[in-house]
Structure 1
Amino acid sequence: MRIEELLALYASHAAVDSQEMLARALSLPADIRDGSERYSTLVDELPLPRDPESVIVAGMGGSFIGGLFLQDALYEESSKMIIPLRETGLPGSVNERHLLVAVSYSGNTEETLRVVLEARRRRIPTVAVTSGGLLAKLATEWKIPLVEVPSGLKPRAAFPYMCTALPAVVEAAGLVDGLMLKLKEAAGFLENVKQEVLDAGNSLARWLFEQYEAGNFPVVYSYRPFLSAGYRLKTQINENAKLHAFFSEIPEANHNEIMGWEGPFRFSAVIVRAPGEPPYVYHRMEFLRELLRGRGVKHVEVHAIGENQLQKLLSLFYAFDIASILLALLRGTDPAPTATIDSLKKYLEERIDISREI
């Protein structure tokens, strides 16, 4: 189905998409190109310590996914560890020889601000990635290197800028070379395969819709270095479609979770695959597929496409973002609002004012 035909198919749902989340998702290649051009100069300009022992990327929710993506993208390339952190504090092992990258799209994420405060007390080198808020204010006052991303987006929709800003930071810190150029090339690749990715996203959305209608909640199975893509699908279904979805890692799930398929279940499964799987991955994924088939579990495989790790990873992000929004539209659900999350933030703000602790 051509892009124009697909959009026409969903035209009756367009009024539901109050903030044009589908259009934003479709623009991923152009936004990655924009981000790679926007942040490529940071490689030479950011005043960062060179060659830190590791990079800790602190963030929550839509701001966290960039760190998980970076970990996958550099898993086999960087000689130093990329450590995504979703906490309110830093591990005791982190010291001044490490680099903290504090990511908060709004700039007001309490958990991330607490990490920044602790890093300041412990004199840990820090760089801030944000669109504004209190984090940008602190970065200016405390002379912390600041990387600004475009404002006015939903945090999860800012992924193209997070996935280009963070690589610029680690390249500036000397952990890897040529990553920004690879991102720009990946944007061109995604543009060329846009139709194929859109078809995959549409097929997945319709399959998921059928499963939800039958009362089956999806478990997303993935493996390194594609964990971030599988986790992205789970969280995008949660936020965009307002539905439960679950995520599990291979090979760990082989040692516990697969026993659950021996009992009663109301689940389906999405299996993330990629070309060139090494034998120790391939046979585990094949066993999982045969197990699900034998138990009568509805399941679908989604395959990455591309010639290198970045292309494969981003092709999955692209398809999954589109699928989650189309799923929302099929349900007649506006993908933009996150009312329950907003209620939590308001609840906490009335009881915990992080600005008073600064």
Structure 2
Amino acid sequence: MSSINDSNQYMRNLIEKFPENLTEAIDISYQYRLKKEYQTFRNVVICGMGGSGIGGKLVSSWIQNDIDIPINFCQDYTLPKYVNNNTLIIASSNSGNTEETISAMLEADEKGATIIAVCSGGKLQSLCEKLNYEYIIVPGGNPPRTALGFSIVLLTSIFGQLNLISKEKLKEFEQAKDIIISNKNEIHLEAKELADFINNKELIIYSESKYEAVAIRARQQFNENSKILCNHHTIPEMNHNELVGWYGGADHYAVLFLETDDWHEKNKKRLDFSIDTIRNKTTNIKSIYSKGETILIKSLYLINIIDWTSLYLAKKNNIDSVYIAVIDNLKNTLKN
């Protein structure tokens, strides 16, 4: 029991530091400036897995209306064929030892792509030094999912330093930090209520499509911290398939909608229709609402609620929120 309590206290401390991590990451971004002069890129591919990979998806969703070139993702060992010397590869691995990311980076080097890495050290740093690529060092030693603040700020900083987006984007992280801190009590209350709502049910998370990265982050947190399975989908896409699947729905499902005030007008109508349809199969329907003026700030507010919810749900079921031995066992199996 004490071991589980200690682990959950450790996780609590890490989640508590999220606003502080944003400030620390901003300081790192100002201290570390890219030194090389770079060409004009035609596309960007962000390579990263799990807690390191989700940062790229979030940042991409925040800057999609600011950047003039496409951003794609590689969450595997191999890169898309189109990657070439006009491609920017951003390799993100908190540990610096993620084998899929390292494999993709080595292929990128062979293809002549430009590479910039974000890591805490490890093989990724060594390879960057050997192959003469720039990298940004972030604090390590904690679960990658708790290092999100560093990932999202420094990825955003890279885009800004390369003049792919405005450098002013970083100011939104300070605004997000302030909103999270000023609403701390409300966030904790909502997280505890949400944990009660989810407990002993099968969770399905819905968001508007531009917030899908937030829904993925939520799913990952419930997977790793709370040790539960859950699914996610987006509006309007779910209206073309999963909505029909609700004919087979049942009351053991808990449905969580991530709502913001910037939904497309058509999607607002789709949301209302979807809720009415789902209510025929389950009464367990709940929405959480963002605060803030921009998609970045709204996303981080929702993420903070979910992070706390995942911990409170773990504590409710006497679950160790830090424990991920099955992933460690997989890595050892792959090594052998």
- For residues 278 and 324 of structure 1, the distance between their equivalents in structure 2, rounded to whole angstroms, comes to 29
Aligned to 1:245: 230
Cα deviation digits, residues 138-165 of structure 1 (max 9, x gap): 1111111011110111010010110111
Give 1:238 shift. 0.4
Give 1:122 shift. 0.5
Give 1:79 shift. 2.2
User: Does structure 1 retain, via aligned residues, the 8 Å contact 2:88–2:114?
Assistant: yes
- For residues 88 and 322 of structure 1, the distance between their equivalents in structure 2, rounded to whole angstroms, comes to 32
2:26 corresponds to which of 32, 36, 50: 36
Cα pair distance change 1:280/1:13, threshold 3 Å:
farther
Cα pair distance change 1:324/1:18, threshold 3 Å:
closer
1:97 matched to 2:83? The reply is: no
1:230 matched to 2:219? The reply is: no
Aligned to 1:296: 282
Give 1:84 shift. 2.5
Cα pair distance change 1:228/1:192, threshold 3 Å:
same
- For residues 120 and 224 of structure 2, the distance between their equivalents in structure 1, rounded to whole angstroms, comes to 20
Aligned to 1:320: 306
What amino acid is aligned across from residue 89 of structure 1 in structure 2? T
Give 1:297 shift. 4.4
Aligned to 2:152: 163
State the TM-score, normalizing by the size of structure 2: 0.94
Task: Indicate the SS of the match to 1:300.
Answer: strand
- For residues 317 and 311 of structure 1, the distance between their equivalents in structure 2, rounded to whole angstroms, comes to 10
- For residues 262 and 60 of structure 2, the distance between their equivalents in structure 1, rounded to whole angstroms, comes to 20
Cα deviation digits, residues 175-223 of structure 1 (max 9, x gap): 11111222223222222222222222222112112xx1xxx31011112
User: Does structure 2 retain, via aligned residues, the 8 Å contact 1:71–1:84?
Assistant: no
User: Does structure 2 retain, via aligned residues, the 8 Å contact 1:190–1:311?
Assistant: no
- For residues 180 and 264 of structure 1, the distance between their equivalents in structure 2, rounded to whole angstroms, comes to 43
State the TM-score, normalizing by the size of structure 1: 0.88
79-88 or 278-287: bigger deviation = 79-88
Task: Indicate the SS of the match to 2:79.
Answer: coil
1:148 matched to 2:137? The reply is: yes
Cα deviation digits, residues 270-327 of structure 1 (max 9, x gap): 1111013221221111111111112234111111111122210110111111111111
- For residues 292 and 39 of structure 1, the distance between their equivalents in structure 2, rounded to whole angstroms, comes to 45
Cα pair distance change 1:14/1:26, threshold 3 Å:
farther
46-55 or 138-147: bigger deviation = 46-55
Cα pair distance change 1:51/1:283, threshold 3 Å:
farther
Cα pair distance change 1:183/1:279, threshold 3 Å:
same
Task: Indicate the SS of the match to 1:95.
Answer: coil
Cα pair distance change 1:147/1:288, threshold 3 Å:
same
- For residues 340 and 14 of structure 1, the distance between their equivalents in structure 2, rounded to whole angstroms, comes to 17
Give 1:25 shift. 0.8
Aligned to 1:83: 72
Task: Indicate the SS of the match to 2:113.
Answer: coil
| Structure 2 residues not aligned, in runs of 5+ | none
Structure 1 residue runs of 4 or more that deviate by more than 4 Å after TM superposition: none
Give 1:256 shift. 0.9
Give 1:86 shift. 1.1
- For residues 263 and 254 of structure 1, the distance between their equivalents in structure 2, rounded to whole angstroms, comes to 15
Aligned to 1:259: 244
Task: Indicate the SS of the match to 2:280.
Answer: helix
Aligned to 1:270: 256
What amino acid is aligned across from residue 19 of structure 2 in structure 1? P
1:27 corresponds to which of 11, 14, 17: 17
What amino acid is aligned across from residue 82 of structure 2 in structure 1? S
Cα deviation digits, residues 36-73 of structure 1 (max 9, x gap): 1221344x434252542222111111111100111111
Give 1:90 shift. 0.9
1:72 corresponds to which of 58, 61, 72: 61
Task: Indicate the SS of the match to 1:281.
Answer: helix
What amino acid is aligned across from residue 254 of structure 1 in structure 2? N
Give 1:267 shift. 2.2
**Number of residue pairs matched by the alignment:** 333
1:197 corresponds to which of 187, 192, 205: 187
Question: Where in structure 2 are the equivalents of 1:97-116 lying within 5 Å?
Answer: 97-116=86-105
Cα deviation digits, residues 12-44 of structure 1 (max 9, x gap): 9982535611121122111111111221344x4
What amino acid is aligned across from residue 169 of structure 1 in structure 2? I
Over aligned residues, Cα RMSD in angstroms? 1.8
Task: Indicate the SS of the match to 1:72.
Answer: helix
- For residues 86 and 48 of structure 1, the distance between their equivalents in structure 2, rounded to whole angstroms, comes to 28
User: Does structure 2 retain, via aligned residues, the 8 Å contact 1:208–1:218?
Assistant: yes
Give 1:101 shift. 0.3
User: Does structure 2 retain, via aligned residues, the 8 Å contact 1:72–1:224?
Assistant: no
Q: State the identity %.
A: 27
Task: Indicate the SS of the match to 2:67.
Answer: coil
